[in-house]
Amino acid sequence: MNKETNPNFDFVKILNEDKTYKLLFPEREVGLAIVLIFEKIENKIFEDGKFTEKDLHEAFEEIYITKERYPKEVYSEQIMNLQEYFLDYDQQTQKYYFKDYAYKFCKHAKETLQGAFNPTRIQKICIHLTNTLRNSNDLKFWLEDEFKKYEPDLREQIDFLDRQISLSIEDLKKETNLLNQSFIDVLVATEDSLTKSQSHVKELRSAYSETKTMRGLLEQKDNSDNEINTLISEVHSFIKYINDRLNSIDRKLDRIQPKIRQLFSTLNKPAFNSKIEKFISFLLKNSELDNKKNIIFPQDIPCPIIHIPTPNFTIISRDKELFPPKPKERKQYKQNEKVIRENKERVLAKIKEIDTIRKWENFILSEIALRDQLNLSDVFFRILKEENNSQIAVTVLFNLIKHIYGNPEKLQLITEKSLVTNDEFKNVSLWKMLITKLQ
């Protein structure tokens, strides 16, 4: 699908022109009247979703609760404005019906406020996207249409969770003027709600786990095309956005929940102390003394045993010389030569890898000192080819970039966002990087 977009489109400027903003986002009463019509359409009150001008006037009158009677011209002007983005008029039937923007406007607002936690649906969407990506021959179509179509659904569940937590805290703030016991009940309900939210985060994280497979499949695709590479970066950014939001919600809950438990404990102390005092008072009034001046508690309360007579024990000492202990057999541990050899080889390989990395770093720095500049991207593919080890190539690259930023007065790294590739390593590409020695 070819999508033609105007590169000079200025969203803020156009939104600020004339009445554009007001037409897209009508004032409160007009918006509520539209929502009222939307609900009637959803409830099948209007046949085929079409309604008359009289229905619109009735909706306005229901929303505008005032002693004044608005003239018909006021409503007619508002209906005229709504025809820009919200309403369309059928001359033949003389009825109105919603434009696509009106449906999306009302539906999105309703779903946002209503909220519906559904991690199973998210998991199904992620599995569907993974399967279509795996079988897709047109990567650009998948990135532009297939993934973008489900992006709002993937985003809304996190928004719902965040809103759920905010509403729980707002409810708690509203009840701060209640009596202690009533406030404690609200506090317990809030803590339960936040605990539920925390379990929802875990369920969502599990549902989004399929995005790891999605990311792996994208990395395997040939992304030498700059436009496709940009779209892939957007998908990676969105997946990172999901994980960051979930981590943010986790941190928010970790901060709030201990404070609520502490507040609950503080508020509950007076009630706990009062119960203890009542219990002690009950014991003093209803307990008796027997002839031996032992306290007899009221019925169903057991008397605590304060003193237990010490029993007499007969101790027989054992003469170690007459009864020497049996000598313990010393266990011999046999060394596993195979494991020792494997560990030794692993350590030597690591040491060799470190030495190789250091040699390449010294070689590159000496080349820069000799020639005043070096194409780091070409050297990366040279290391990859000679060593056949991507870890060595990446480590050398990382260490050199770190060294350059640690010596800004001596060296400069120049990067261009054009991708550099190599015929031998088709799945590897990186930005063009040039190191220059400063005079």
CATH of the domain at 227: 1.20.58
| Mean pLDDT, rounded, of the chain | 80
One domain, residues 234 and 128? yes
SS3 338: helix
Predicted local confidence at residue 318, as pLDDT: 75
Predicted local confidence at residue 359, as pLDDT: 94
Transcribe 53-110 into DSSP letters: HHHHHHHHHHH---SS---HHHHHHHHHHHTTTTEEEETTTTEEEE-HHHHHHHHHHH
Whether residue 158 contacts residue 204, with contact meaning beta carbons closer than 8 Å, is answered with yes
The better pLDDT of the pair 199, 47 is held by 47
Predicted local confidence at residue 356, as pLDDT: 93
The CATH number of whichever domain residue 83 belongs to comes to 1.10.10
Q: Which of 79, 111, 143 is the last residue before a domain boundary? A: 111
pLDDT of 265 higher than 50: yes
Whether residue 403 contacts residue 411, with contact meaning beta carbons closer than 8 Å, is answered with yes
Predicted local confidence at residue 23, as pLDDT: 87
Is 322 part of any domain?
Answer: no
One domain, residues 94 and 121? no
Look at the block and give the residue holding tokens 């009864």: 323
Residue 147: partners with Cβ closer than 8 Å, 6 or more residues away: 129, 235
Biggest alpha carbon–alpha carbon distance for the chain? 120
Reported as a single tens digit per residue, the pLDDT across 130-157 is: 888 888 888 888 888 888 888 887 777 7
Is 286 part of any domain?
Answer: no
Whether residue 48 contacts residue 56, with contact meaning beta carbons closer than 8 Å, is answered with no
Is 382 part of any domain?
Answer: yes
Encoded amino acid at 434, one letter: L
pLDDT of 326 higher than 90: no
Reported as a single tens digit per residue, the pLDDT across 189-242 is: 666 666 766 666 676 677 677 778 888 888 877 667 788 888 888 888 888 888
Whether residue 404 contacts residue 340, with contact meaning beta carbons closer than 8 Å, is answered with no
171-183 average pLDDT score: 51
One domain, residues 373 and 351? yes
Q: Which of 111, 126, 150 is the last residue before a domain boundary? A: 111
One domain, residues 131 and 49? no
306-334 average pLDDT score: 78
Whether residue 183 contacts residue 139, with contact meaning beta carbons closer than 8 Å, is answered with no
pLDDT of 388 higher than 90: no
Is 394 part of any domain?
Answer: yes
One domain, residues 121 and 220? yes
Strands (E) in 341-406, as ranges, are: 373-375
217, exposed or middle or buried, with CB in 10 Å at 0-12, 13-18, 19+? Answer: middle
Is 305 part of any domain?
Answer: no
Reported as a single tens digit per residue, the pLDDT across 102-135 is: 988 898 888 777 665 566 677 788 888 888 888 8
pLDDT band at 281 (very low <50, low <70, confident <90, very high): confident
How many domains, in total, are found in the chain? Answer: 3
Residue 116: partners with Cβ closer than 8 Å, 6 or more residues away: 160
Which residues form the domain of 373?
346-437
Which helix (H) or strand (E) covers residue 244, if one does?
helix 226-286
Predicted local confidence at residue 346, as pLDDT: 92
Is 6 part of any domain?
Answer: no
| % of the chain surpassing 90 pLDDT | 14
One domain, residues 132 and 68? no
pLDDT of 398 higher than 70: yes
Question: What is the number of other CB atoms lying within 10 angstroms of the CB of residue 53?
Answer: 15
pLDDT of 177 higher than 60: no
The candidate with the shortest Cα–Cα distance to 222, out of 18, 380, 4, 419, is 419
Is 5 part of any domain?
Answer: no
pLDDT band at 176 (very low <50, low <70, confident <90, very high): very low
One domain, residues 262 and 119? yes
What is the pTM assigned to this prediction?
A: 0.43
